[in-house]
Amino acid sequence: MYQAFVGLEIHVQLLTKSKVFCGCRAAFGDEPNTNVCPVCMGYPGVLPTLNRQAIVQAYLVARALDCELSESAVFERKNYFYPDLPKNYQISQLGSPVGRNGRVDLDLGGSRRRVPIREVHLEEDAGKMIHAGDVSLLDYNRAGTPLLEIVTEPVLERGEEAELFLQYFRRMVRYLGVCDGNMEEGSLRCDANVSVNRPGKGLGSKVEIKNMNSSRFVKKALAFEIARQSGLLDRGAPVAQETRLWNENRDLTEAMRSKEEADDYRYFPEPDLPPFKPDAAFLLDVEKGLVELPSARRERLVAEYGLGPDQVDFIIDEKSRADFFERTVALGADPLAAASWLGSDVKRLLNREGVELAESPLTPERLAGLLVLLASGRIHGKIAKQVLEVLFAEGKDPETIIRERAWEQLIDAGAIAKLVDEAIDANEKAAAQIRAGDEKPVGFLVGEIMKATSGRAEPQLVRSVLKERLAKSR
């Protein structure tokens, strides 16, 4: 048996309005080379100016990861030549990053694993180069957009743990509103370092894995890589220190470059940017951005509302969903009912319509209205589902819908009695059977009444009135 050590390097594209060192829009789906200026194009003579929103978000993530926040965050130049890097150096951080020595307490389904965070640092992204036939094309829209790099200590042991960590992390940055967390589109990117060794022997040769653009691929790539390295050790073969790429089509990692070819980045302090020293006003802004994080919210929702494990996981997965849930409950809905509806019927309709909860016609007010109607017996379950359908189709309040369609449940005893009498008259044989003590046809008669009212009659009431009537006349 071997022990695996996995560390993650996560890159987060921050959701800032402008780029990290100039005023250009930080949007890179646009027409190539439209969100550029002399600064992010690396023209001669220009200088970087630090975007406050970016540095606030960087400290916010560091804070959320329980890091020691730097009192003097130093930017450095990382020197390497690549056509998509306009200055041929990247402004990054090395010696004194924004945050250090943080931690995440990861819930591994029962057990807990503390994942120490080595550092959080802010840097600029590069542009994009594509090769089309015999030309190379460059788009610098992404050049200079803010990127946050988070490095964990190598304490994860399996692909599943890395996947859980990533899911936790993704949820966290989405809660903080600093990243949309989209791994497929690359706004959240993850590289891993893996080393395998005999237990107690410390770290083995370090292999870096890149190109894993979903948390599932991270799990699969790590599982493959751990098995590959274990196999090498079994055969007594050395594990080469190298960088490997995950090939999602072939489900394996492939060697990209060996350590000997690794670059010397010749880091040195960026003379154009003095060290960033957060003052009290800045730290206050950071604290203001620090929302209740998913793990804390999970615990609170369980304690406050008694949600089950699956329910609570679903509710807290998105901050907007958890906010929606709590707002619905605050408006008078039963918490368990709200959670259950959100996790079943609402989810089904959202999937069918292909919309997000926030963009759908459903609001906490409408869901609470629906659930209160249901709880008070003014409509029953089947009608409630229909109301939800209409609500999605027409965007109206539940009250309006049941009024317009006369869907309110019949709970008036007089009206029900009249219906019961009509049913008895129309079904003499069944009525006689019941009167004779045979309860079997009760269900049939109730069904007839429900049919006659398109399901609006309150079934329990119908049943009891029916029994009462037939008993009386006996």
Shortest CB 42 distance to another protein, Å: 4
Question: Does 271 participate in binding another protein (rule CB under 8 A)?
Answer: yes
> β-strand 135-139 against 128-132: which pairing, if any?
antiparallel
Q: Does 94 bind another protein (CB under 8 A)?
A: no
- The yes or no reply on residue 272 touching another protein (CB under 8 A) is yes
Considering only residues 44-63, where is the footprint of another protein by CB under 8 A?
A: 44-50
- Name which of 2 and 265 has its Cβ closer to another protein: 265
β-strand partners of 133:
none
The residue range among 6-14, 136-144, 394-402, 406-414 that interacts with another protein, by the rule CB under 8 A, is 136-144
Burial (CB count <10 Å: 0-12, 13-18, 19+), residue 352 = exposed
DSSP-assigned states of every residue in 298-358: HHHHHHHH---HHHHHHHHTSHHHHHHHHHHHHTT--HHHHHHHIIIIIHHHHHHHT--GG
Q: How far apart are the first and last CA of the chain?
A: 80
**Applying CB under 8 A, does 40 fall inside the site for another protein?**
no
Q: Which is nearer to another protein, 168 or 265 (CB)?
A: 265
CB of 275 to another protein, least distance (A): 10
* Alpha helix ranges (H) inside 17-85: 52-64
| Token representation of residue 269 | 């302090």
Over its C-alpha atoms, the chain yields an Rg (Å, rounded) of 31
DSSP element (H, E) containing 165: helix 159-176
How far apart, in whole angstroms, are the C-alpha atoms of residue 295 and residue 106? 9
**By C-alpha distance, which of 358, 355, 367 is closest to 329?**
367
Residue 212 pairs with which residues in a beta bridge? 190
If we measure between CA atoms, which residue out of 190, 241, 196, 242 comes closest to residue 219?
Answer: 190
Helix, strand or coil, per DSSP, at residue 149: strand
Q: To the nearest whole angstrom, how small is the minimum distance from the Cβ of residue 80 to another protein?
A: 9
Q: Considering beta carbons, is residue 268 or 444 the nearer one to another protein? A: 268
User: Positive or negative CA dihedral for 116, 158, 8, 244?
Assistant: positive
Question: Which CB atom, from 43 or from 444, has the smaller least distance to another protein?
Answer: 43
CB of 241 to another protein, least distance (A): 16
From CA 313, how far away is CA 292, in angstroms rounded? 15
Q: How far is the CB of 239 from another protein (least distance, A)?
A: 24
Name the residue with tokens 């780029």: 19
- Based on the shown chain and the rule CB under 8 A, indicate whether residue 414 belongs to the binding site for another protein: no
Per-residue x/- marks for another protein, 380-399, CB under 8 A? --------------------
- Say if strands 99-108 and 111-124 run parallel, antiparallel, or are unpaired: antiparallel
- By CB under 8 A, the residues from 64 to 83 that bind another protein are 77, 79, 81, 83
Q: Are 158 and 164 in contact (CB under 8 A)?
A: no
Nearer to another protein by Cβ, of 21 and 169: the residue is 21
Answer for which of 108, 138, 256, 452 binds another protein (CB under 8 A) is 138
Of the candidates 20, 273, 416, 466, which one interacts with another protein according to CB under 8 A?
273
User: Which residue, 88 or 344, is less far from another protein as judged by CB?
Assistant: 88
User: Between 274 and 309, whose beta carbon lies closer to another protein?
Assistant: 274
Among 17, 30, 34, 38, binds another protein (CB under 8 A): 38
As measured in angstroms, the least distance from the Cβ of 24 to another protein is 14
Nearer to another protein, 46 or 291 (CB): 46
Q: How many residues bind another protein (CB under 8 A)?
A: 31
In the complex, the smallest distance separating the C-beta of residue 89 from another protein, rounded to whole angstroms, is 5
Binding site for another protein (CB under 8 A): 38, 41-50, 77, 79, 81, 83, 86-89, 129, 136, 138, 140, 264-266, 268, 271-274
